[in-house]
Amino acid sequence: MPQESTVTGLPLTVLAEDEQLFRDSVLEFADQRIRPLVRDMDEHAKVPRSLLDELFDLGVMGIEIPEAFGGAGASFFHSVLAVEALSQVDPAIGVLVDVHNTLVINALIRWGSDDVKRRFLPALSARTVGAYALSEAGSGSDAFALTTRAVERDGGFALNGQKLWITNGNEADLFIVFANVNPDAGYRGITAFLVERGAAGFTVGKKEDKLGIRASSTCELLFEDCVVPRDCVLGEVGKGYKVAIETLNEGRIGIGAQMIGLTQGALDHAVRYTRERKQFGKAIADFQAVQFQLAQAATELEAARLLVYNAARLRDARRPFLNEAAMCKLFSSQVAERVTSLAVQLYGGYGYVKDYPVEKLFRDAKIGQIYEGTSNMQLQTIAKHMLS
């Protein structure tokens, strides 16, 4: 029987056998199929299409999609486990899978009409990558300050504006795009639209040259009188703010999973290296100072993992999880930065060069405190919850 502990009032079941097998199988795939490509993908900032096809074949691109639409019909928690396992090898692949599942697919399952589900979910399970386009130059933390506009035209809507920092921009064929149909109404005019690659007036623009998670494409999107049919509105006109808020809360748990995965990868590398590296006639792992640093790192990682798992369990149990999602993202991103920095330090000079893996994981970790809600925004959420 699985063991249980209690975190924030919900029994937190340690991985059941099927969950453990699932995570282990994804990690095995990542070790065998992704790890040999990591250095090249990072240098060239690109994911090969062949690897995307393998991710679809593995089933991690349709985890929560119902079986009737070609998916696995599994839980949100399984998506979290997949992101964690992939990120242990390459956080860039972890976030590609995360955005596709926790943002795009979740939004379509919750807000899509029956026709939308029949049209898009089978493709998202089999071959189509999804992207989520909310951010703009002037609307990051202030997400509802977006300036992309949608005007009714020809039985649909014409979109005009620019999106920035859109994950999966290069790979995606389906985009959830947020635009305002009534600026005078403020956030109550925001509407979510489904836009397919190749739509007239829609262009994927510049790809950003990033510090970390370089294989994950981050692109600008341009809309110039891009006409979207009315049946490609996701949810209701003027209710896009609800789509954004609710899916981003889930997405933050996914980023927490990415952070604990990359932290585990960095810690594993550090432990192995300290056993191999010898100074003063013995392995540096034999020095108490090193042992204590590793012990502290392992403790913080386990705490972060429990926060992430608890938030995911709460979500699957249909219980409130806003505060827990903020906590898990905040803490896991902090731990990721600390532990990857420690790994670089323990490697010494080798940790500072690209020939060894911890340098990349250190670069990858920083984004966790920035995207899908900065650390300050998570602190604000937690404080508001405490004081309400």
Strand partners, 193: 177, 233
CB 87 within 8 Å of CB 81: no
Task: Write down how long the chain is.
Answer: 388
No. of helices (H) and no. of strands (E), the chain: 12, 12
Instruction: Provide, rounded to the nearest whole percent, the portion of the chain with pLDDT above 90.
Output: 93
Structural domain spans, the chain: 4-129, 131-238, 241-387
Q: What pLDDT, in 10s, does the model give residues 21-57?
A: 999 999 999 999 999 999 999 999 999 999 999 999 9
Locate tokens 């990359």: which residue? 262
- 28 has catalytic annotation: no
Which CATH superfamily, name and number, covers 241-387? Answer: Butyryl-CoA Dehydrogenase, subunit A, domain 3 (1.20.140.10)
Looking at residue 140, what is its pLDDT? 80
What is the CATH superfamily name and number for domain 4-129?
Acyl-CoA dehydrogenase/oxidase, N-terminal domain (1.10.540.10)
* CATH architecture assigned to 131-238: Beta Barrel (2.40)
Instruction: Determine what percent of the chain is predicted with pLDDT higher than 70.
Output: 96
Closest C-alpha among 72, 101, 67 to residue 84: 101
| Structure token digits, residue 279 | 């100074």
The pLDDT value given to residue 387: 97
pLDDT over threshold 80, residue 335: yes
Q: Are 164 and 173 in contact (CB under 8 A)?
A: no
pLDDT class of 13 with cuts at 50, 70, 90: very low
What pLDDT, on a 0 to 100 scale, did the predictor assign at position 314? 97
Q: State the pLDDT confidence band at 11, using cuts at 50, 70 and 90.
A: very low
Which DSSP state fits 176?
E
What is the reported pLDDT for 290? 98
Nearest of 385, 60, 103, 386 to residue 246 by alpha carbon: 103
Query: Which residue, 1, 231, 212, is CA-closest to 120?
Result: 231
pLDDT in the model for residue 144: 82
pLDDT for the residue 14: 63
Amino acid at 104: V
Is 241-387 the same fold as 4-129?
A: no
